[in-house]
């Protein structure tokens, strides 16, 4: 039960989180003036004045840390979005959240009546935090993925993503990407038909709106016009907190949604000859078979900046079996216990700037060493891994330089 061990790590240290979120809003780690495209908090170009104002409101709401008086909890993980998406980049492993369930004999149980599938390991005064049920054996430790570029990700048509699937590995390259087809809950207000999941580490969510409303409710214990009832406590049932429900309005959810939709990905770093060579090697050894360099958006009904643009995310947004080192045994929609959505690689060069210079790669932020990341790639990625470690030291370095130019 290796997964159980990871849970005992000290992942909640209040003062560190405060220090981190204090750093996150500004650019304290930069010494000179910050150039456009060098941080994660800038809007896409071409927003109207009204859209710029919505962006600014959403930015503020994303940073806001809720107090107990304002409705935090009763059970929660962190008091702000920003706390787990530092500087709009990824989360520090100290703020990792845990999903759990029981996976036995091929049957997966989310343990809904025992507080599953998400562990809220913090609580307001007078309320007991959740603890892991003893028989939970599928424990998925996850760090917050970067928050930029998600409107572009959402605007890629299902058909474009589905064109990259190869469920039976017809082309014989050992790689068989498949989509996580998910039916959204009725409160999302879209047709209850299967859509291509694309958000979350296992692509379990198809719509950004769902991700935002759910994050308020599950991660912070903040009720909204969308989800007006507090998350039930597994032992004590429904408990209140100090604030009347709903604790935020639909307008706030919409502002944060707009903010995330229009938060631009950072600019690509300089493409030196070494970086160019690294990119060719990345293609040649099969990394790009999953880390698709770019996909194109469709026509967006309201935000011109999201229409018909190339999205250089370096992901196919599909699920892949990544082998035992990365497995969590946790089932989410159609994603099994060894499957993960290909992690987008854009912004890798800047991710560390918001985390004290450390990258914290992979779904749980377990390592900051790119070679260890590649070493952990098994399953469908095993061939690419073997080819990487068969390269000369110089070529390996060029490939790593390429990754850190994104
Ligand atoms: C306790 C930490 C935590 C808090 C607080 C939190 N998030 Fe997250 N967020 C995560 C994790 C972990 C994931 C990945 C979840 C998964 O794999 O399903 C995530 C995923 C996301 C994603 C999908 C990103 C992607 O690339 O797929 C969005 C969007 C998001 N969060 C927005 C928010 C918003 C908005 C808030 C505040 C209302 C928020 N988050 C609060 C930890 C957090
Ligand atoms: C079979 C598909 C596949 C192939 C081939 C593949 N990857 Fe990945 N890669 C993934 C998935 C899925 C993840 C996310 C795994 C996780 O978080 O547990 C990932 C994660 C990563 C990350 C971490 C990103 C982050 O932000 O945490 C890097 C870096 C990376 N891959 C580089 C590479 C390189 C370099 C190669 C070629 C040697 C490669 N990958 C080949 C699917 C693939």
* Percent of the chain scoring above 70 in pLDDT: 92
* pLDDT for position 48: 93
For residue 16 the two structure tokens come to 């560190």
Arithmetic mean of pLDDT, 52-79: 97
Probe residue for ligand 1, chosen from 78, 79, 85 as the CB with the greatest number of ligand atoms within 8 Å: 85
φ, ψ for residue 11, nearest 5 deg: -100, 5
pLDDT in tens, 105-141: 889 999 999 999 999 999 999 999 999 999 999 999 9
Give me the mean pLDDT over the 273-282 stretch. Answer: 98
Give the pLDDT confidence score for residue 206 in this predicted structure: 97
Mutate which of 122, 215, 252 for ligand 1 pocket (most atoms within 8 A of beta carbon): 215
What ligand has the least distance to the C-alpha of 59? 1
Ligand that lies nearest to the alpha carbon of residue 148, given by its number in the listed order: 1
Mean pLDDT of 287-313: 97
Sign of the alpha-carbon dihedral angle for 10, 12, 18, 20: positive
Q: In whole angstroms, give the CA distance from residue 63 to residue 175.
A: 39
Ligand nearest to the CA of 201: 1
Residue 19: predicted pLDDT: 39
Q: What is the pLDDT of residue 354?
A: 85
The residue-averaged pLDDT of 260-272 equals 96
C-alpha of residue 170 to centroid of ligand 2, in Å? 21
Tell me: the pLDDT tens digits for 191-212? 999 999 999 999 999 999 999 9
pLDDT in tens, 353-393: 888 889 999 999 999 999 999 999 999 999 999 999 999 99
Ligand nearest to the CA of 63: 1
CA of 15 to the centre of ligand 1 (A): 21
Residue 4 has pLDDT above 50, yes or no: no
- Count of CB atoms situated within 10 Å of the CB of 10: 7
Per-residue pLDDT, averaged over 16-31, amounts to 41
Quote the pTM value: 0.92
Contact 20, 92 (CB under 8 A): yes
Q: Which residue CA neighbors atom 32 of ligand 2 most closely?
A: 374
| CA 40 to mean position of chain CA atoms | 15
State residue 237's pLDDT score: 79
What is the residue-averaged pLDDT of the chain? 91
pLDDT confidence band for 14 (50 / 70 / 90): very low
Q: What pLDDT is stored for residue 356 in this prediction?
A: 85
Cβ neighbours for 121, distance < 8 A, ≥ 6 positions apart: 12, 77, 98, 129, 130, 131
Q: In which band, very low, low, confident or very high, does the pLDDT at 34 lie, cut at 50, 70 and 90?
A: low
Q: Residues near ligand 2 with C-beta < 6 Å?
A: 175, 285-287, 289-291, 320, 322, 326, 340, 342-343, 345, 361-363, 370, 373-374, 377, 380-381, 384-385, 388, 403
If one residue of 377, 378, 399 were mutated to test the ligand 2 pocket, choosing by the most ligand atoms within 8 A of its CB, it would be 377
Predicted confidence (pLDDT) at residue 145 exceeds the cutoff of 90: yes
Q: How far apart are CA 250 and CA 7, in angstroms?
A: 34
pLDDT at 355: 87
CA of residue 324 to ligand 2 center, whole Å: 14
Which tokens go with 369? 């060493």
Distance from C-alpha of 77 to C-alpha of 94, rounded to nearest angstrom: 11
């Amino acid at each position: 039960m290796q997964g159980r061990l990871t849970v005992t790590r000290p992942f909640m240290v209040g003062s560190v989180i405060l220090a981190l979120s204090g750093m996150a809003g500004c650019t304290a780690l930069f010494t000179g003036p910050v150039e456009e495209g060098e941080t994660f908090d800038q809007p896409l170009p071409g927003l109207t004045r009204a859209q710029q104002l919505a962006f600014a409101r959403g930015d503020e709401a994303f940073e806001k840390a809720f107090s107990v008086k304002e409705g935090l909890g009763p059970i929660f993980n962190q008091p702000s979005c920003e706390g787990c998406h530092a500087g709009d980049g990824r989360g520090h492993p100290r703020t990792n959240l845990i999903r759990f369930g029981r996976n036995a004999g091929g049957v997966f149980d989310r343990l809904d009546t025992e507080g599953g599938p998400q562990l809220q390991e913090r609580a307001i005064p007078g309320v007991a935090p959740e603890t892991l049920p003893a028989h939970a054996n599928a424990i998925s430790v996850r760090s917050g993925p970067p928050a930029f570029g998600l409107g572009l990700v959402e605007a890629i048509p299902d058909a474009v993503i589905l064109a990259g699937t190869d469920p039976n590995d017809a082309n014989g390259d050992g790689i068989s990407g498949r989509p996580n087809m998910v039916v959204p809950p009725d409160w999302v207000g879209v047709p209850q038909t299967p859509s291509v999941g694309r958000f979350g580490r296992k692509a379990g969510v198809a719509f950004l709106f769902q991700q935002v409303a759910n994050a308020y409710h599950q991660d912070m214990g903040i009720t909204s016009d969308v989800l007006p009832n507090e998350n039930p406590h597994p032992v004590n049932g429904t408990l209140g907190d100090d604030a009347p429900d709903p604790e935020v309005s639909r307008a706030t959810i919409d502002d944060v949604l707009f903010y995330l939709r229009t938060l631009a990905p950072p600019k690509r770093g300089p493409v030196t000859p070494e970086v160019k060579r690294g990119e060719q090697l990345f293609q040649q050894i099969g990394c790009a078979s999953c880390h698709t360099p770019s996909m194109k958006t469709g026509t967006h009904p309201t935000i011109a900046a999201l229409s018909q643009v190339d999205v250089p995310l370096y992901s196919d947004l599909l699920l892949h079996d990544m082998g035992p080192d990365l497995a969590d045994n946790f089932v989410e929609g159609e994603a099994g216990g060894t499957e993960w959505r290909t992690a987008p690689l854009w912004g890798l060069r800047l991710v560390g700037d918001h985390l004290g210079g450390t990258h914290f790669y992979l779904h749980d932020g377990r390592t900051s060493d790119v070679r260890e990341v590649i070493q952990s790639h098994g399953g469908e990625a095993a061939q690419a891994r073997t080819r990487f470690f068969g390269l000369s030291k110089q070529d390996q370095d060029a490939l790593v330089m390429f990754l850190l130019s994104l």
